[in-house]
Amino acid sequence: MSGSSLLQPDDAEAIILRCVQPFTGQKAADVEQVSLEKACGRILATDIVSQLDFPHWDNSAMDGYAVRFEDVQSCSAEAPAVLEIVEEIPAGYQPQREVGIGQASRILTGAVMPAGADTIVIQEEAQRDGDRVTILSSPKSEAFVRHRAAFYEAGQTLLAAGTMISATEVAVLAAAQCVQIPVFRRPKVAILSTGSELVSPHQPLQPGQIVDSNQYALAALLEEAGAEPICCGIVEDTPEALKKAIAHAASQADMILSSGGVSVGDYDYVDRILAELGATIHVRSVAVKPGKPLTVATLSRSDETGAVLTQASSESESSGSSKSFPVLYFGLPGNPVSAMVSFWRFAQLALQKLSGIPEPWTLKWIQGRSRHDLRSGGQRETYLWGTVQYIDGAYEFSLATGGHSSGNLINLSGMNALAVVPIGKKQVAAGESVRILRVHHG
Residues making contact with ligand AMP (CB under 6 A) = 193, 195, 197-198, 210, 212-215, 259-261, 263, 265, 333-336
Residue among 258, 350, 251 nearest 301 (CA): 251
The entry of Mg ion, ligand AMP, none near residue 408 (CB within 5 to 8 angstroms by kind) is none
Computed from CA positions of residues 31, 35, 36, 39, in that sequence, does the dihedral angle turn out positive or negative?
A: negative
Site string for Mg ion, 364-383 (x = CB under 5 A): --------------------
In 195-343, alpha helices (H): 214-224, 239-252, 270-276, 311-317, 336-342
Task: Please say whether the beta carbons of 338 and 332 come within 8 A.
Answer: yes
Nearer to ligand AMP by Cβ, of 198 and 253: the residue is 198
Find the binder of Mg ion among 116, 162, 182, 260 (CB under 5 A).
260
**Residue 9 binds Mg ion, judged by CB under 5 A:** no
| Total of residues contacting Mg ion (CB under 5 A) | 4
CB of 326 to ligand AMP, least distance (A): 25
CB of 318 to ligand AMP, least distance (A): 32
Per-residue exposure over 293-312, b if at least 16 CB sit within 10 Å of its own CB, e if not = bbbbbbbbbbeeebebbeee
The entry of ligand AMP, Mg ion, none near residue 229 (CB within 5 to 8 angstroms by kind) is none
The CA-atom distances, in angstroms, between 309 and each of 49, 248, 260, 324 are: 39, 13, 27, 9
In 277-418, alpha helices (H): 311-317, 336-342, 348-354
Residue 393, phi-psi category: left (phi > 0), alpha (psi -120 to 50), beta (remainder): left
Find the binder of Mg ion among 195, 291, 333, 386 (CB under 5 A).
195
Nearer to Mg ion by Cβ, of 260 and 293: the residue is 260
For residues 141 and 144, give the distance between their C-alpha atoms in angstroms, rounded to a whole number.
Answer: 9
Residue nearest to ligand AMP (CB): 334
Task: Please say whether the beta carbons of 130 and 146 come within 8 A.
Answer: no
Q: Peptide bond before 360: cis, by omega within 30 degrees of 0?
A: yes
Residues 6+ apart with CB under 8 A from 221: 340, 343, 344, 348
The entry of ligand AMP, Mg ion, none near residue 193 (CB within 5 to 8 angstroms by kind) is ligand AMP
Nearer to ligand AMP by Cβ, of 75 and 273: the residue is 273
The entry of ligand AMP, Mg ion, none near residue 335 (CB within 5 to 8 angstroms by kind) is ligand AMP
Nearer to Mg ion by Cβ, of 260 and 368: the residue is 260
The entry of ligand AMP, Mg ion, none near residue 333 (CB within 5 to 8 angstroms by kind) is ligand AMP
Per-residue exposure over 80-115, b if at least 16 CB sit within 10 Å of its own CB, e if not = bbebebbbebeeeeebeeebeeebbbbbbeebbbbe
Residues 6+ apart with CB under 8 A from 245: 192, 232, 235
CB of 174 to Mg ion, least distance (A): 49
The entry of Mg ion, ligand AMP, none near residue 50 (CB within 5 to 8 angstroms by kind) is none
Site string for Mg ion, 326-345 (x = CB under 5 A): --------x-----------
The entry of ligand AMP, Mg ion, none near residue 356 (CB within 5 to 8 angstroms by kind) is none
Nearer to Mg ion by Cβ, of 55 and 261: the residue is 261
Nearer to ligand AMP by Cβ, of 54 and 216: the residue is 216
- Residues of this chain that interact with Mg ion (CB under 5 A) are 195, 260-261, 334
